[in-house]
Structure 1
Amino acid sequence: MVNYNIIFVLPGSLTLSGVTTWSVEMCRRLTATQRVVPLIKHVSAYSDIDITLPPQVSIIECPNPVYPGSLHLTERDVALGYLPAYQSHLPGIIIPNWSHGTYAACALITKTQASNIRTIGYAHADDPEYYNWLTYYEPIIHRFVAVSQEIGEQLAALIPHRQADIVVKPYAVNTPKQLKRRYSTRPEPLQLVYAGRISEHQKRVSDLVRLAEILSRNQVNFQLRIIGEGADKDVLRQKIASLEPSTRQRITFEAGLSPDQMPAVWQAADIFLLVSAFEGTSIAMLEAMAQGCVPVVTEVSGAKAVIQGGQNGFMVPVNALEEMGQMIGQLDTDRTRLCEIGHQAHQTVAARYDYDDYMAWFLNMADEVWREAPRPWPANRPLLPHKRSGPELPELYRNVVSNLSGQDIARYVPLSRIIQGLGFKLANQPGFGWLYRFRSLGKKIVGD
């Protein structure tokens, strides 16, 4: 008889993302272990996607409207707004996924119920924010799971005293045993798909528009399908609308779909696109490859461990859109090679990212963690990290950001995130891609 639950938290609610896809599938599979599997979801600015879950998955609404990543989140918000939901299915292992607020709720529980909770920290992306959360809340985290080798190495450098508790384990995805699909043949257009968060920060979604312009200029026959929700969807729509009609008619932009709908999307696609500045190990990439899509992606965390250039996909440096366009053009010309690489992509994922193996590993890790001694939050450590500006900076900060963005977003977003976002926006402009070479220096200046 299992004597603890495994609880997943979705700080951004049930929106289309790799973290949502992974958490939902884990909940489904854990129902086979005779557990009630709780899924805590916070309030989001975006609509939930339609997801069907087994009755054993208990969805717990966290009604507090304060976003777990808000700069203005207080300990009182955590205690009164989050704690009831988080405590409702203890004893258990909680996977907060991301944000200060979710980890703070776990830390607060350990102050009075340390024996009833264990915390597993997932680093889902090679992003300073993940390193912030995991290093600050390190005292309560029993195991750190890095979804790529690059992330594991970074964590080991940041918390060397916890190296024994850092595990590198990429995700698993559902993969058909046999690939039964067709690929577009000439003169049909190549079917390109991007599915994920519509965000300039990290995802660099406007690069999809620039890529479409390059493909049109190179006379590549294509259709681009963009699927997702996010903060920059209106900006992306405007960029698409500003294209020449001959290019614009090749692009469709759709709202987010549920994980259950995505296999059919990938089966109808020839090429999976990823133009991100950074990732963890992209779940969308693995899912697309599982269905025989050829990945054409940027060289980001996790991709190098999966893709062998020219054999099961293609990689280019961040912002190297001309090079990406040339690769897609070659596949447009040689559809036989498209098919061969697509089948190799499927075989790669089937051999290395199987869910049965992943679940056996995960359950063994969970049992090990549950047997470990509790890790209470240090009494003298603030529950939330201090992120406050000096008395004279905030007004100047808000004015500058408002003038640059047209919105008073400075009241809700940390200064470091604003600077990062403006940097991404500038580096996205033609002729400024070289700014990405200074990413490491930027981290030192802005801070993680």
Structure 2
Amino acid sequence: MMPKIELIIHRATFDGKEVDVFVAKGKIVEIRKSVESLDAGDAKVEEAFGLTLMPSMTDVHVHLREPGYEYKEDVESGLRAAAWGGFSNIMCMANTKPVNDNESVTEMMLEKARKSWPKGPRLFPIGALTKGLSGKELAPMAELAKAGCAAFSNDGVPVKSTKIFRRAVEYASDWDRVVIDHCEDPYMGVAAGVNEGEVSSRLGLPAQPDVAEALQVARDILMAEYLELPIHLAHISCRKSVDLIRFAKERGVRITAETAPHYLIFTEDYLENEATEFDTNAKVNPPLRTQDDQDAIFDALNDGTIDCLATDHAPHASYEKETEFDVAPCGITGLDTALSTTWQLVKDGKLTKEAFTRAWTTAPCGIFKLPVNTFQPDDPADFFLFDEEEEWTVSNQTLYSKGKNTPLLGTTLKGRVKTHFIRGKKIV
């Protein structure tokens, strides 16, 4: 017996067809060819007027800065950017002040999310791998898992001790959690923010080579293979890492990986252009790499070697970026712009639609066991209506995040979320 329909999305465009979506009790009931005359009964009808219907996306790598750095971002503003950016699930890193290495910080984050966005987006904190992110002593992982942490990571401070890292992966598995590792050799140009090569030489900047990332990727692959346990690799940026991951997956190693939109739309050459030379908004860790590295990332996303996309949303106050390149903090804000930029890559033929959907929905949710909508019956009714043709200019006024630190400032993008539903409830 069909449940009582509570919401109908009328005349949305989905896979090139005009459809109606039927929702009951926060779940998808069915999606079928649209009819002009609709008998809605008591159901609420949302007229889509041909807007594109998309499943809500998931971002497994976000910095919300609260507690401690609310001037950069807070839970409310970060989730606002997520809601308008098309995201229903957000996983936030532990590099707060105090660090999210105990249940009280986790619970505070979740309470802030419930109060500011009770209908969603959903917040899934990532617990610290070690106390204070110091790399010296494991955090209380059982306590953090029970409090609601969906994964564990030492974020941008790679664990030097292989012994401690091994124990962390083992203990995380006891709670059915995955460790996320920021792959960066701790002795090779840490957080330099520019790729080591011809561009960095001409600019005269301290730099980080791609091998600094690949060395740590190789360590994690060998560890995952030896322990027969999963490890997730954050923000992969170079061909060397892609080759290692591809070879590992061919051997059946339980390794997964993400990359970020900025590695798909910028290369190190951006820092050498006359108009954008030394732009600190493009200083990110790992740094923007070469065109060859970008080509490898596209290939890896399209063939599934890289499982998912994640923004690595890292908001900073404007004055923090308005300084010399070598002392500016690393990070690009991304929740507001990720959908528009990556969907444009689909339209340009650089990223397949299948890869886009996998990378933003099914893969991240599968890896971290989060709710996902594939528009099958009983899936959570998480979706948004998207105007593919609406143009908007990236500016302080059009970004919902507190962070305005993006090299896309002043750029005109195509595509904007018009309305967003989570579990059948309109959130924006």
TM-score scaled by length of structure 2: 0.32
The structure with the largest helix share of the pair is 1
The structure with the largest strand share of the pair is 2
Name which structure has the greater RCO, CA cutoff 8 Å, separation 6+: 2
TM-score scaled by length of structure 1: 0.31
